[in-house]
Structure 1
Amino acid sequence: EQVVMALGNADEANTNEEQGFADFTAQHTGLTYVPAGHPAEARLDTVPDNEPVILRGLGLNFFDYIAKLTVGRGGHFARDRAGELYYVPSGKEPKMIAGSRKGLPMHARGLNQKKDAESHRPIFFTAGNIDRFARENNGKVTYDFFFNLIEKEMNYKHYQNVISDFGLTWPFNAAEFLEALRHSANLNATAREWGVPDEYIMNWDRILNPLGESAEAVDYNEFMVKYLTWDINDALKGNVDAPYAGAFDMLRDVRPVIRHYLDAGYLDGDEYAQFLAKFNPFNSIISVGPPILRIEQMRALIKAGILTITGPGIKVVATEEGFVATDAFGHEWHAQNLVEARLHSISLAESINPLIANLRDRDIFSDQSYQKADGSTYTVGGIRMNKATLTVVNKADKEVAGLYIWGVPTEGWSWFTTFAPRPGVRDKNLVDAEHIAETIFE
């Protein structure tokens, strides 16, 4: 017998904080708490019209929630004569207050310009460069070296797009400038030497922290409208040509190289911990965001006064008056309704899916622990399998013949299984499915 398990996101146990909110809501009339989960399955009819609701999370799920609470309640979006999206309310929308730890949504994906299997061909971030570093460093590749290569690749693509903008003229030969960048140890320094103005320099501090140091003096929603407008205008230039969206989209094209780095045995426990803690959030905010339309809708709802974005560092507590949200700037919002606008991270240990929990408790499903140099250990949430055949590996480190696991439940043991497959580029999810079929029918 052969069993293929393609389970997608499964239910996870609430955190202690989340369970506290659920219990508090059950004990107090007039409160609504929507736990983390799929927006399509969320019971949002309990969120009253015109009342404040706090949404925790500004990721992809957040956009589905705000759509359900606006268009899903009879409102609609339209465009003015200049082409800008605006919102026409139905009068049934709640007053949404949304925030996250970073206080920023993911960047909009650039308007698609890539045909069929067209991809960026990396110059710096290649499997060959990673392998060469490993050979010269006892078979190990540090996270810092890995990320430096990615940063150089994105910087190069940024400058390539900047100087290709027909609206700009440069006092140098473009081909010679790009050749200088190819041989540069510091692309930003080289760009400055060639006379590229500061406004076109790839400033990662500004990208990841666009507020800079003057954050407390800023009206955050006014800032957010300007930030979203910048993001929209850049993304409209396309995922090949845009100075930023074009560079960010490159990360989608080099995923096979990232997986090579992860699967070649080059990382120890400390380096993998850095990858999970640093690169995964970076990758999420930079390269896996929503279509431009979703960012336009977010901006329109802010302008309509229906959506308020908190500053970074949102925290929520339950009081006798209801839920209270605060941000890093000391602002405060009160609501009787709280929605977890996000999914839980993948965790075999915390799964409450009956099938997964049963196989875990029988030691058929297992996860992987890693040890750091200081002796501490950590466990990644994904279910282990043979990465070549996708056959489940049990707690005794034995393959379970005829049992295959594919996709999302392996995240952490695998990398980045949560995205929709891309045709024509030997996409990981499609290749894995092919490996399962080949193993079954060999």
Structure 2
Amino acid sequence: MKVAIVGSGPRGLSVLERMAARLAASPVDEATDIYLIDSHQIGSGRIWRTDQPEWFLMNTVADEVSAFSGQPDGGPARPGAGPSLAQWWSAEEPAKYPGPNSYAPRALHGRYMQFILRTIEENLPENVRLIPVKATVDALTRTADGYHLTLREGAHLTADRVVLTTGHTTPELTGNQRRLAAFAEQHPQLRYIAGDSAADMPLDSAPAGSTVGVLGLGLSFYDVMAALTEGRGGIFEDDGNGGLVYRPSGDEPVIVAGSRSAMPLPARGRNQKHHDYRYDHALFTTERILAHSRHGEISFADDAVPWLLAEVELVYYATTLTSRYGPGKSAAFEAEVVAAAEAGVPDVVAIAAGYGLDDVPRIDLDGQARPFAGRHFDSPEHFERALTDALAADLAHAEAGNVDDPLKAALDVIRDSRAVIRALVDFAGLTPTSHREDFLGWYVPRSSFLAAGPPRSRLQQVTALLDCGLLRIAGPDTRFLPDAASGRFAVHSPYVAGSKVLVDTVVDARIPTPDVRLDPHPLTRSLREQGIWTSYVNHGADGDRFDTGGVAVTEAPFHPVDNAGTPDEGLYVLGIPTEHTRWFMQGGSSRPGFWTDFVQNADAIAADVTAPVLATSAPVQLGV
């Protein structure tokens, strides 16, 4: 049998690791070739390749990351049992390892993935070969007995089964992106740098001393910021007061950044949780939401959000009670809230008031995600003072920790609720309107903002750059527009008087939204033109429909559904191409100690792919 895995980033490597574990657990009846294909670095892919600069960091602590589907068991590392990223890091680079709860450079994670790949290769059964292929797959066609893959480099491959884990691509520009890019083409002195991984952006093209507009203040903003500061030779140093000071090299540009919220993505709370910590939901459960649903299909706003907010409030007030009075009073409060939930969504705020917490401000997700909404500022200096106060407040919450600080502990519930939410929304679990407006339009941006933040050091760096004048944040609802009168780009906030700045470079620091309809990659076009890949449509009972832009797939093992509505049972699609058919497909790792959906998805594909060549079914132990 011949199997091709196209894309060897975290998803592809996880499928390979589970295939290898299954192939090692049972006799293999037939010689098997596995082609691992990647256009960049085989085993690490593009985003995690090992030659990128060390200043690009992960946003999950290394202790919570593993590419093995099982923990070390005293034997040698092998598929199904191996070290987490932190364990490998501490053993591989003991002098450089900063200790528990540290954030690794992405390049180091790429080196960890190379270790996984070597471990897999060294432990394959004798009649199984792993064949690395560095190439770009530009086309895939069905044949009478399998699939034919056309490689850009001129070669061809045939396979009986193909796993497509192709990851991030760069979609076509739309709307204001296209307008900015066209304006730059008309003015040779200007540069528009489209959204992508910062390691692949031509950021060196921005001259020292020039002014660079950066669109977006999410995770990619921090990468762009690092590249234009540390990447230009500058140094962040301890200021002696728990913060940082920046020492410029003189080669930096001035950064003028902005977004709708005008608040850089808040920091993750200092990690106080064990790597195999699992949050046990008391209120926000799939069963409870379905039982209380008033709709044939789920409305996210009506049926899910009230329970999720109640869960967030429960943790917020319980943590506050623990900090004030100890765990006893907190336990009584939690029990009363859970008992009240038998009759419907409990009024957590009212119950908390009965425990003496009526002085504690409520959590407002909109207010947390848009802290400057509705405010006007009479000068850039006025806004910067408000921003600096907001950054200081967030850093104080983050330093207190994700267990001890009520706010950060509560917001961690959003992160810990992803699996419940996927169970509700995947494969058209919501009405089309609710999917489009309530979930993708309202919840996802707030969830991404509040529950996926960077290390605390990144916000300290923002403060240091604001202090030295190399970073300005324009203000709420920042606009990036062509300015015909000057022949330059204009950056300004309509809520900050005097905020307009002219720049010669605009960097789009937002992660492109996957959409199979807008993806210009030749492989995607080939699959769409043949009808092998189609865009998943959420059809409502009332005739409403939402074309999601995600690749239509079956439930596990995720076969693509063609334009005739037929699953192709020799093909599998996992990860980013299926975003919006399923949710949060950009997650790049699993957790040590138990199987998240990440490994469960990979194993479902591995089980189906290897079934024809195994004499007996390989055992699976979920959660170990």
TM-score (structure 2 length as normaliser): 0.66
1:138-287 aligned at under 5 Å gives the runs 139-143=296-300, 144-165=302-323, 168-169=324-325, 173-184=329-340, 185-211=346-372, 213-216=374-377, 219-263=382-426, 266-273=429-436, 274-287=438-451
Match of 2:257 in 1: 98
Question: Aligned equivalents of 1:254 and 1:41: distance in 2?
Answer: 32
Match of 2:472 in 1: 308
Question: Aligned equivalents of 1:325 and 1:100: distance in 2?
Answer: 11
Cα offset for 1:270? 2.0
Cα offset for 1:292? 1.5
Aligned partners of 1:110 and 1:239 also within 8 Å: yes
Match of 1:382 in 2: 550
C-alpha distance after superposition, 1:102-156 (max 9, x if no partner): 222222112222213212211110122123124xx46433222200111000111
Cα offset for 1:57? 0.7
1:400 to 568, 593, 602: 568
Match of 2:28 in 1: none
Question: Aligned equivalents of 1:151 and 1:24: distance in 2?
Answer: 44
Matching residue's letter, 1:324: A
Matching residue's letter, 2:529: D
Aligned partners of 2:261 and 2:372 also within 8 Å: no
1:367 to 523, 535, 560: 535
Cα offset for 1:415? 0.4
- 3-state SS in 2 of match to 1:308: strand
Cα offset for 1:207? 1.9
- 3-state SS in 2 of match to 1:388: coil
Q: Does residue 1:34 correspond to 2:193, yes or no? A: yes
Question: Aligned equivalents of 2:383 and 2:537: distance in 1?
Answer: 41
- 3-state SS in 2 of match to 1:398: coil
Match of 2:462 in 1: 298
Cα offset for 1:385? 1.3
C-alpha distance after superposition, 1:284-337 (max 9, x if no partner): 011112122222212221122111112111112212420011213153111111
Select between 262-271 and 428-437 the one with higher mean Cα deviation.
262-271
Match of 2:622 in 1: none
Question: How many residues end up aligned between the 2 structures?
Answer: 437
Question: Aligned equivalents of 1:11 and 1:193: distance in 2?
Answer: 53
1:67 to 226, 233, 245: 226
Match of 1:20 in 2: 179
Cα offset for 1:183? 4.1
Q: Does residue 1:429 correspond to 2:598, yes or no? A: yes
- 3-state SS in 1 of match to 2:390: helix
Identity %: 29
User: Gaps (5+ residues) in structure 1?
Assistant: none
C-alpha distance after superposition, 1:372-423 (max 9, x if no partner): 6886643112111112112111122111121111111110001001122231
Aligned partners of 1:191 and 1:201 also within 8 Å: no
1:289 to 429, 435, 453: 453
Distance 1:215-1:17 versus aligned 2 partners, 3 A rule: closer
TM-score (structure 1 length as normaliser): 0.93
- 3-state SS in 2 of match to 1:110: coil
Distance 1:195-1:312 versus aligned 2 partners, 3 A rule: same
- 3-state SS in 2 of match to 1:432: helix
Cα offset for 1:16? 4.0
Question: Aligned equivalents of 2:222 and 2:339: distance in 1?
Answer: 42
Question: Aligned equivalents of 2:364 and 2:511: distance in 1?
Answer: 31
2:483 to 314, 319, 333: 319
Distance 1:369-1:265 versus aligned 2 partners, 3 A rule: closer
Aligned partners of 1:142 and 1:271 also within 8 Å: yes
Question: Aligned equivalents of 1:375 and 1:140: distance in 2?
Answer: 13
Cα offset for 1:252? 2.2
Matching residue's letter, 2:415: R
Aligned partners of 2:217 and 2:262 also within 8 Å: yes
- Give the greater-gyration-radius structure (CA): 2
